[in-house]
Amino acid sequence: MPEQQTTPASFPRRFEGRSVLVTGAGTGFGAEIAVRAAQEGARVVVHYNRSREGAEQTAKRIEQTGSQAALVQADITSWDAIRAMADAAFAAFGGLDVAVNNVGDVARDQMSWRDITEESIDHVLAVDIKGTLLCTQEFGSRMLDAGGGCIINIGSTVVVRGSARAPQYAAAKYGILGITKSYAQAFAPTVRVNTFAPGFIETQATLNRQD
């Protein structure tokens, strides 16, 4: 499908002069969040773990809007890697106004609760719970020191409807609510922390999944 170009002038410039980091911005939903932030005026830090090529493509799309992009790599199951990512993100544009914690493992290849494995449970919880918690901890504490900021943790509507396909994913996303509420209290009123819970999103990865 040919890429559709939309002129930045057609978008509100709500992020003019702001810097935004999006984790998992090399592909899928994260890439679209990053590009939309740029279309609204933000300078964007594009995080990736293994999708370097995808992150470079996202950065190119950001630059096509007339904005600036910076790449950071990190495995968000590692606190040391998250600290290094936070250092790079805050240094990229002289501070960070918004952090979108988008990375999450949905156990995409698991098509039934019958296929659940201990390895999958451990990995989903490490990425979705531990990773989101540590990113919120690191970005939020630095935003507090800087005098303000906003953190958005990407949840899911599975917290309402559950997931017969992957219970570990529903459990992890439910845990993000606890993380968000806890840090919203801890960081208030200087740093806002919220959860955004979208429904099913059609991405290339979900389209490629075996039904």
Q: Is there a contact between 151 and 133 (Cβ–Cβ < 8 Å)? A: no
Q: Is there a contact between 29 and 196 (Cβ–Cβ < 8 Å)? A: no
- 83 is written with which tokens? 């600290």
- 154 is written with which tokens? 């990407």
3-class secondary structure, 4: coil
3-class secondary structure, 109: coil
Cα separation of 1 and 176, whole Å?
34
User: Is 169 tagged catalytic?
Assistant: yes
Cα angle at 205 between 62 and 133, to 5 degrees? 70
Active-site residue, selected from the candidate residues 48, 169, 174, 183:
169
Please tell me the total number of residues recorded for the chain in this structure. Answer: 211
Catalytic residue ranges:
169
